[in-house]
Amino acid sequence: MIGTESLTDLYVEVQHFYARQMHLLDGGAFEEYAATFTEDGEFTHTPQQPPARTRAGIVAELNRFHQRFADDPVVRRHWFNMLKLDPLDDGAIAATYYALVVTTRPGRNVTIAPSCVVHDVLVREHGALLTRSRKVDHDLVP
């Protein structure tokens, strides 16, 4: 594992880390969200696009992406589930899980899409989990 903790401890720590991370993102705290990545972290939220790199780059990309909601105000919630953890040779952890985006628009109309599989690499720095890379694959019928 990442250090000497048990798999149980790590699995729960990752669940809690993701909860805090996504409450930040969904609350619009983009700098705090970016700070949950390593300084050289990579974030690919849309397939076929190059990743945003570094915390500053992730913040810039989030600001750019959220411009689409300037004239379409929404509340978004990211739900993660069915989390798998696999150790990597370099001591990092591969985390693979399902994700859904729950979007509420005025009038409380709720849509749930897209359905995604997310591939993270997690590391520990100074005792804290950080995301080194995140790649989001949208479910697409072949």
Residues that bind its own copies (CB under 8 A): 6-9, 11-13, 15-16, 18-20, 22-23, 73-75, 77-85, 96-98, 100, 102, 104-106, 108-110, 112-115, 117, 138-142
Nearer Cβ to its own copies (59/100): 100
- For the bound state, the minimum distance from the C-beta of residue 14 to its own copies, rounded and expressed in Å, comes to 10
* Ramachandran angles phi, psi of 33, nearest 5°: -60, -50
Paired strand residues for 95: 85, 120
How far CA 45 is from CA of 41, 81, 106, 127, in Å, comes to 13, 17, 25, 26
Asked if 56 and 33 count as a contact pair (C-beta separation under 8 A), the reply is no
Q: Give the nearer residue to its own copies in terms of CB position, either 47 or 91.
A: 47
User: In terms of CB distance, is 56 or 110 closer to its own copies?
Assistant: 110
